């Protein structure tokens, strides 16, 4: 196919758009690939749509290769199935809801577990029909609070979502593995640098879950990894390495001290080091009790105390992930007033437990550890309070921040944090959705058996931004061949009629050789044309320029920047081999 | 590609779905192509999705062939542009409206004239950039009052919409012609029997407009045509053939008569024929004045009187189309009470004109025609009231019903009515939308010039239903090759291991020859398999059955029902030639 720039619906921009902060957003807009219609809502212009379709093609090929079958569910969905699973409510403001002319409730699908479970229930009735994996590549909707960076985090976006249905846990593990492998192939073909991290499954429910994160400084996801072992995990998924319990024998008794004006950890540590406790005290020796209130959607608010070593903050994301699907809020002044036993800055385990407040502690607070903590009275702390002896928490919680240098959960090396963009997600959902809809099929032994589900997503439109983010320079985009909007960008940079005709013939021959050509046949200066070729980022740039008179054509590699002249006579073969590598 | 029925996500149904009335709906559900999710909202199962993609491919190829460029606009659209053109209001209940988490208004796009006008405004600034035609193949939303017949009239559906932008009327006519020709090629390739009818442009605005209607008894659109001339038009678009005006000389004076108990045309004609008026009177000699109230959206209701010959009813669709974008309602008793000069059953031109009621008449009411009509008093009519002499209407209106036998507007032959399904629509929109958004570009002479638009639609998902409607028999679907979900349906109807292996090899060879194969490798009886092959409707059915032992394979043509045996040795070549014709 030959696409003429003289005809193409394209206008490149010299300046970055005012609302763009990240390189991919700036370049995709400047190069005329996408345009903003509303916050998080974009249109795809011709070249952008081609890249999107290329990504879709790669995803589709790899899904078909693992035997997944493509179907298409609607985006406009009735409320009922989402009511059954409580996601109509759980999604909160993130769901676009609407009513039809008769007042019936609908939503715009953010993900389709409910509908796929119902679809399989509707068609398949026997163990002989399983396993089955279905997928769709479809426009999805989420009313993001902060749509961001153009198509990177949109409110209308294209996603590939697939769902596996197996009769056994082993089958699910196999389907999960097949998807995980397919995703590795997809992201490798797309030229994306990524890591696979252990993940919590959030509102999706279920157990085993990993995320594919594209490495990127502008990513919103923080993950940690151990260089030594290759371990990588979402911060939310990091399991704290707990020390071994300590025997109580010989541990000193707890003693309450007057500690005037020590409402913060820093002031408390200062007091402790001045009080001659017989040892140097650091923040890690103190136990900080943070109060929040928690509720399951639709339920009542209840107090929850979270105890963490004083040298660490509570990480809101980790706390939130640990509590899901319950939500939490910080206490208001009114909450403190209603619970006078909570003495701000001096809260201790004693008052919490006497007043029936649920008390969860960091996993480092094992039996036998001794703490300086609040004594539930202004200006008073208790020293030498021993976990398991002087107080017994209701359990542990992963809520304390993870820090660079923390030991890796797999026992090898220490953790370092990095940022990434979520591009894929694989879940072993289990039977949450098949339970909700009572999806039962006839088992081999004649008894009903309930399929177990996996759920797998790839952010298709997001990947266009991710690839642009990972593959650009200060001049423009640099598409990997697999997703480029064309194979060759052929620039006519010579006003001579013979050169123009030669370029036109070359385009026709390259087209005949099966390549997609963008032909810059505009009446513009070579400088303008070269700048646009750099901005558009097609991998191989061919220039019919001054050298034409000497029988030469130039071939430029947009990725390496290398350039070489080849004889016009062999140009077709040379370009084909440059494209096909 | 080989698709195994033992693995395919497919369950065919023996019985028609309870909610299905038309054959295409019944068969597409029974054959497992689509499934209902909500009223007018369907999912596409694997084979259905393949047919949908085939239709998309044909449409895309023909759009690209006329130089149209594909882009993709969002379905979730902000209110503002639709407010500018007043369609936010005009669409009424037909529009899905919603709010985001911040309370901003959005809609789900029913058609995209606004956004395409804005998109072109955003990119192109000079006459040199024109003409340009853009299109998308996209999911659209309309909250139909009566979603119908499965995917035939859905609320979520796939449409190809394109928009041409030209600087001159001649250019627009050329773009319009190119689309019209492309549509003819599309529908011919898809095997659809269709007619092109003159159409009104409805809420779209603009002038020249034609509809492509698939011939079908279950169609909701009535059109008329003249067999003699080939003229065809939507009933709404039929222009009445008006007689020549008649000179007033020698026409008798109008006379008011007592006509007790004649509130209907029938009773009035009876009276007239008994009153010895010197000639036989028919309903066509009477003038019926129908009162409605009319308002432009957002405006006040105003009275409108429509005068039609008494032998014809007012056709609500024609009246509605003539009044658009204004809407109309019938008068209530309260309206009559508020306007006592309106004497029900005896309304005449005199009172209407004395009281300033807008009065539009059928085009047959030309100057010099003489009428029996109401005299604005109970039990009184006027005879010999001459148009242009005794009353002067405010204009004409196309509101009277069109009847079989009416003269064709092109002067050749008479009209006959038929039913069809709208599958395509071409409009010369003009500058309605470029005016609304002040789309101006630099003209050749340095002055701004405003592009004129065309708008063109194809109902892509609807076409799947239309093709099924036109191509089926009582056993199932019969897809034309261009849209079939596969080329060959290969049935293994022989339990012998050698036959099974032979069929598997044949499938592999047909696949290697570039054909798409559905291979029925299930453990089911030949009878069940044959029934399913008829239901699914793939054009060429190949049976490896009893004949295998004698080295024979059967080839069936699903369309003609013909069947023949070929030697196994030449089966690949024979099947390829059966598929490729």
Angle, in degrees to the nearest 10, between helices B571-580 and B497-512: 50
Average pLDDT estimate for B125-148: 94
Q: What is the Cα–Cα distance from B30 to B532, expressed in whole angstroms? A: 10
For the cut 80, the answer to whether the pLDDT of residue B202 exceeds it is: no
What is the four-CA torsion angle of B164, B167, B170, B174, rounded to 10 degrees? -30
B105: how many CB neighbours lie within 10 A of its CB?
15
Q: CA of A74: which chain B residue's CA is closest?
A: B43
From A72, A115, A143, residue closest to B100, measured CB to CB: A143
CB–CB contact B37 A74 (8 Å): yes
Cα separation of B514 and B579, whole Å? 11
Domain ranges, ordered by start, for chain A: 20-202+432-469, 255-396, 486-580
Residues of B in contact with A69 (CB under 8 A): 8-9, 46
**Tokens coding B195:** 């007619």
Quick: pLDDT tens for B470-527. 999 999 999 999 999 999 999 999 989 999 999 999 999 999 999 999 999 999 999 9
Looking at the complex, report in whole angstroms how far the Cα of residue B460 sits from the nearest Cα belonging to chain A. Answer: 15
Q: Can you read off the two tokens belonging to residue B363? A: 């085009």
Instruction: Provide φ and ψ at B421, rounded to 5°.
Output: -115, 125
The residue length of chain B stands at 581
pLDDT tier, A207 (very low <50, low <70, confident <90, very high otherwise): low
**Beta-ladder partners of B491:** B520, B543
CA distance linking residue B510 with residue B486, whole number of Å: 12
Judged on CB neighbours under 10 Å (0-12, 13-18, 19+), A527 is exposed
- pLDDT at A202 > cutoff 60: no
For residue A304, is it left (φ>0), alpha (ψ between -120 and 50) or beta?
Answer: beta
Question: Which residues in chain A have their CB less than 8 angstroms from residue B38's CB?
Answer: 74, 76-78, 104, 106
A-B contacts at Cβ under 8 angstroms: 139
Task: Report d(CA B72, CA A154) in Å as an integer.
Answer: 15
Classify the phi-psi angles of B18: left when phi > 0, otherwise alpha if psi is within -120 to 50, otherwise beta. Answer: alpha
CA angle B245, B248, B251 (to 5 degrees): 120
- For A529-554, how does the pLDDT look when each residue is reduced to its tens digit (9 = 90+)? 999 999 999 999 999 999 999 999 99
Chain-centre distance for alpha carbon B217: 13
Q: Which of B29, B37, B122 would best serve as a mutation to test chain A binding (most A beta carbons within 10 A)?
A: B37
Predicted confidence (pLDDT) per residue in A259-294, tens digit: 999 999 999 999 999 887 888 999 999 999 999 999
What are the beta bridge partners of residue B196?
A: B212
Superfamily of domain A20-202+432-469: Bira Bifunctional Protein; Domain 2 (3.30.930.10)
Q: Rounded to whole angstroms, how far apart are CA atoms B181 and B204?
A: 22
Chain A residues with CB under 8 Å of B70 CB are 46, 49
| Summary mean pLDDT of chain B | 93
Q: How much is the pLDDT for A386?
A: 96
Check: CB of residue B468 under 8 Å from CB of residue B498: no
B382 in A contact zone (CB under 8 Å)? no
Question: How remote is the C-alpha of A325 from its chain's centroid?
Answer: 19
A72-89 per-residue burial string, b: 16 or more CB within 10 A, e: under 16: bbbbbbbeebbebbebbe
> In terms of Cα–Cα distance, which of B547, B556, B549, B550 is closest to B574?
B556
Sorting pLDDT into bands at 50, 70 and 90, what band is B276?
confident
A47-64 burial, b for 16+ CB within 10 Å, e for fewer?
bbbbbbbbbbebbbebbe
Residues B561-571 have a mean pLDDT of 94
The set of residues, in sequence order, having a beta carbon less than 8 Å from that of A111 and lying 6+ positions away, is: A140, A159, A161, A204, A455, A457
CB neighbourhood size of A495 (10 A): 10
Give B51-84 pLDDT, tens digit per residue: 999 999 999 999 999 999 999 999 999 999 999 9
Q: Do A74 and B41 lie within an 8 Å CB cutoff?
A: yes
CB atoms B37 and A9 under 8 Å? no
Which of chain B's residues have a Cβ under 8 Å away from the Cβ of A139? Answer: 75, 139
How much is the average pLDDT of A9-25? 91
Q: Determine the Cα–Cα distance for residues B270 and B280; give it in Å rounded to an integer.
A: 10
The confidence band for B296, taking pLDDT boundaries of 50, 70 and 90, is confident
Say whether pLDDT at B203 is over 60.
no
Interface check A248 vs B, CB under 8 A: no
CA dist., res. A34 & res. A25, Å (int) = 9
Query: What was the pLDDT predicted at A279?
Result: 85
Which residues of chain A neighbour B106 with C-beta distances below 8 Å? Answer: 38, 96
A contact residues 104-123, partner B, Cβ 8 Å cutoff: 104, 106, 108, 115, 119, 122-123
Cα dihedral B222, B223, B226, B231, rounded to 10, equals -170
User: Is the CB of B143 inside 8 Å of chain A's CB atoms?
Assistant: yes
Question: Measured between alpha carbons, how far is B48 from B483 in angstroms, rounded to an integer?
Answer: 10
Q: Which residues of A touch B150 (CB under 8 A)?
A: none
Spatial contact of A479 and A516, defined as CB atoms under 8 Å apart? no
The pTM of the whole model exceeds 0.80: yes
Does B76 reach chain A within 8 Å, measured CB to CB?
yes
Q: Which of A49, A72, A97 has the CB atom closest to B49's CB atom? A: A72
Q: Cite the DSSP H helix spans in A166-264.
A: 169-189
Pairing of β B221-226 and β B415-430: antiparallel
CA dihedral A363, A369, A374, A379 (to 10 degrees): -140
> How do residues B365-393 score in pLDDT, each as one tens digit?
999 999 999 999 999 999 999 999 999 99
Inter-chain touch B78–A38, beta carbons under 8 Å: yes
Q: Does B522 touch chain A (CB under 8 A)?
A: no
Interchain CB distance below 8 Å, B76 and A124: no
Cis peptide before A325 (omega within 30 of 0): yes
Q: How confident is the model at residue A201 (pLDDT cuts 50, 70, 90)?
A: very low
Going from the C-alpha of A40 to that of each of A36, A37, A148, B45, the distances in angstroms are: 8, 8, 7, 30
Tell me the chain B residues in contact with residue A121 when contact means C-beta distances shorter than 8 Å: none
C-alpha distance from B141 to closest chain A C-alpha (Å): 9
Q: Which residues of A touch B485 (CB under 8 A)?
A: none
- The phi, psi pair for A387, rounded to 5°, reads -65, 135
State both tokens at B230. Answer: 């080939």
- CA–CA dist B173, B161 (Å, integer): 18
Give the separation between CA A40 and CA A145, rounded to whole angstroms: 10
Of B8, B122, B145, the CB nearest to A35: B122
Q: Does A249 touch chain B (CB under 8 A)?
A: no
- A60 vs B contacts (CB less than 8 Å): none
CA distance A8 to chain B (A): 8
Please tell me the predicted confidence (pLDDT) of residue A194.
Answer: 93
- Report the top-level CATH class of B486-580: alpha beta
Q: Which residues of B touch A125 (CB under 8 A)?
A: 11
Distances (CA, A) of A558 to A471, A481, A548: 11, 11, 21
B9 in A contact zone (CB under 8 Å): yes
Q: Alpha carbon B118 to chain centroid distance?
A: 27
pLDDT over 50 (residue B206): no
Residue B49 is inside which H or E element, if any? helix B46-65
Q: CA nearest B67 in A: which residue? A: A7
Check residue B558 and give its pLDDT.
Answer: 95
Q: Do A143 and B101 touch (CB under 8 A)?
A: yes
Nearest Cα residue in chain B from A13: B123
Within the 177-236 window of chain B, which residues sit less than 8 Å (CB to CB) from chain A? none
Rg of chain B, C-alpha, whole Å: 30
Q: Residue B299 pLDDT > 90, yes or no?
A: no
Give the one of A93, A96, A101 whose C-beta lies nearest to B145's C-beta: A101
DSSP one-letter code for A402: P
Contact A74 B98 (CB under 8 A): no
Q: Tell me if B410 sits within 8 A of B94, measured CB to CB.
A: no
Instruction: Indicate the pLDDT class of residue A200, thresholds 50, 70 and 90.
Output: low
Mean pLDDT of B266-278: 89
Domains A255-396 and A486-580 share a fold: no
Tell me the percentage of chain A whose pLDDT exceeds 70. Answer: 99
Q: Is the pLDDT of residue A206 over 70?
A: no
Contacts of A99 (CB under 8 A, 6+ apart): A105, A106
- Chain centroid offset of residue B218 CA: 12
Please tell me the predicted confidence (pLDDT) of residue A276.
79
**With 0-12 CB in 10 A as exposed, 13-18 as middle and 19+ as buried, what is B126?**
exposed
Please give the pLDDT value at position B201: 47
User: Which pLDDT score is estimated for A204?
Assistant: 43
In DSSP terms, B198 is beta-bridged to B210, B233
Tell me the range of A280-284, A323-327, B199-203, B231-235 where mean pLDDT is highest: A280-284
Q: What CATH class is the domain B19-238+416-469?
A: alpha beta
Residue-wise pLDDT tens digits, A112-149 = 999 999 999 999 999 999 999 999 999 999 999 888 78
pLDDT tens-digit profile of A40-91?
999 999 999 999 999 999 999 999 999 999 999 999 999 999 999 989 988 8
Q: Which of residues 32-51 of B touch A (CB under 8 A)?
A: 32, 35, 37-38, 41-46, 49
Nearest-CA distance from B33 to chain A in Å?
A: 10
Residue A18 three-state SS = coil
Asked if B69 and A9 come within 8 Å (Cβ–Cβ), the reply is yes
Asked if A175 and A133 touch (Cβ cutoff 8 Å), the reply is yes
Any idea which fold A255-396 has? YbaK protein (3.90.960)
Could you tell me which chain B residue has the CA closest to the CA of A157? B74
Determine the Cα–Cα distance for residues B417 and B433; give it in Å rounded to an integer: 34
* Separation CA A217–CA A151 (nearest Å): 17
- Looking at the complex, report in whole angstroms how far the Cα of residue A432 sits from the nearest Cα belonging to chain B: 21
pLDDT at B250: 86
How buried is A369 (Cβ within 10 angstroms: 0-12 exposed, 13-18 middle, 19+ buried)? buried
SS3 B404: coil
The helix/strand/coil state of A314 is strand
The verdict on a CB contact (< 8 Å) between B155 and A100 is yes
At B83-129, the pLDDT tens digits run 999 899 888 889 999 999 999 999 999 999 999 999 999 999 999 99
Inter-chain contact B35–A122, Cβ cutoff 8 Å? yes
Contact B377/A at CB under 8 A: no
Q: Does B392 touch chain A (CB under 8 A)?
A: no
Cβ contact, residue pair B139, A37, below 8 Å: no
Helix (H, G, I), strand (E, B) or coil at B381: strand
Mean pLDDT of chain A: 93
Q: Decide if A44 and B72 are in contact by the 8 Å CB cutoff.
A: yes
Report yes or no: B437 and B121 within 8 Å, Cβ to Cβ: yes
Set of chain A residues whose Cβ sits within 8 Å of the Cβ of B119: 35, 43
pLDDT-based confidence at residue B572 (cuts at 50, 70, 90): very high
CB contact (8 A) between residue A38 and residue B145: no
Average pLDDT over residues B545-560: 94
Residue A250 · residue A446 · CB < 8 Å: no
């Amino acid at each position: 196919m030959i696409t003429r720039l003289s005809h193409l619906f394209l206008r490149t921009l010299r300046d970055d758009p005012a609302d763009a902060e990240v390189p991919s957003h700036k370049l995709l807009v400047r190069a005329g690939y996408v345009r903003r219609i509303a916050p998080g809502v974009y249109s795809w212009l011709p070249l952008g749509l081609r890249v999107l379709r290329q990504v879709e093609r790669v995803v589709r090929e790899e899904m078909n290769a693992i035997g997944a079958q493509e179907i298409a569910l609607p985006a406009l969905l009735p409320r009922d199935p989402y009511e059954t699973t409580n996601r109509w409510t759980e999604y909160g403001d993130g769901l676009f809801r609407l009513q039809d002319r008769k007042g019936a409730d609908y939503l715009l699908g953010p993900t389709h577990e409910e509908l796929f479970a119902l679809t399989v229930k509707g068609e398949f009735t026997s163990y002989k029909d399983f396993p089955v994996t279905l997928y769709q590549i479809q426009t999805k909707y989420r009313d993001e609070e902060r749509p961001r960076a153009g198509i990177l985090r949109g409110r209308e976006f294209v996603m590939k979502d697939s769902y596996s249905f197996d009769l056994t846990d082993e089958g699910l593990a196999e389907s999960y593995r097949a998807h995980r492998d397919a995703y590795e192939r997809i992201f490798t073909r797309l030229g994306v640098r990524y890591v696979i991290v252990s993940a919590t499954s959030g509102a999706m429910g279920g157990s085993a879950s990993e995320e594919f994160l594209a490495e990127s400084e502008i990513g919103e996801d923080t993950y940690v990894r151990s260089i030594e072992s290759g371990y990588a995990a979402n911060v939310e998924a990091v399991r704290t390495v707990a020390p071994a319990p300590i025997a109580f024998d010989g541990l000193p008794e707890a003693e309450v001290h007057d500690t005037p004006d020590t409402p913060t950890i820093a002031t408390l540590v200062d007091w402790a080091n001045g009080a001659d406790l017989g040892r140097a005290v650091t923040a890690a020796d103190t136990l900080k009790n943070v109060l929040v209130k928690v509720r399951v959607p639709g339920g009542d608010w209840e107090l929850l105390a979270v105890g963490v070593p004083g040298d660490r903050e509570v990480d809101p994301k980790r706390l939130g992930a640990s509590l899901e699907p319950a939500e939490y809020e910080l206490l208001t002044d009114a909450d403190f007033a209603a619970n006078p036993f909570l003495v701000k800055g001096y809260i201790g385990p004693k008052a919490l437990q006497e007043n029936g407040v649920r008390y969860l502690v960091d996993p480092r607070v094992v039996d036998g550890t001794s703490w300086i903590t609040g004594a539930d009275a202004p200006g008073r702390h208790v020293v030498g309070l021993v976990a398991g002896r002087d107080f017994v928490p209701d359990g542990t919680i992963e809520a304390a921040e993870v820090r660079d240098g923390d030991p890796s959960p797999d026992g090898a090396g220490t953790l370092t944090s990095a940022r990434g963009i979520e591009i894929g997600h694989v879940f072993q959902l289990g039977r949450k959705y098949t339970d909700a809809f009572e999806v039962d099929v006839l088992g081999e032994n004649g008894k009903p058996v309930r399929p177990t589900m996996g759920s797998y997503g790839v952010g298709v439109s997001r990947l266009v931004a991710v690839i642009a983010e990972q593959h650009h320079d200060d001049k423009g985009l640099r598409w990997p061949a697999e997703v480029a909007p064309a194979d060759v960008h052929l620039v006519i940079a010579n006003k001579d009629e013979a050169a123009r005709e030669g370029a036109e013939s070359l385009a026709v021959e390259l087209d005949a050789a099966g390549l997609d050509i963008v032909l810059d046949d505009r009446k513009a200066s070579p400088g303008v044309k070269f700048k646009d070729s750099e901005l558009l980022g097609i991998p191989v740039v061919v220039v019919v320029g001054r050298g034409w008179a000497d029988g030469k054509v130039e071939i430029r590699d947009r990725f390496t920047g290398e350039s070489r002249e080849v004889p016009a006579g062999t140009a077709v073969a040379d370009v084909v081999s440059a494209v096909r590598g």
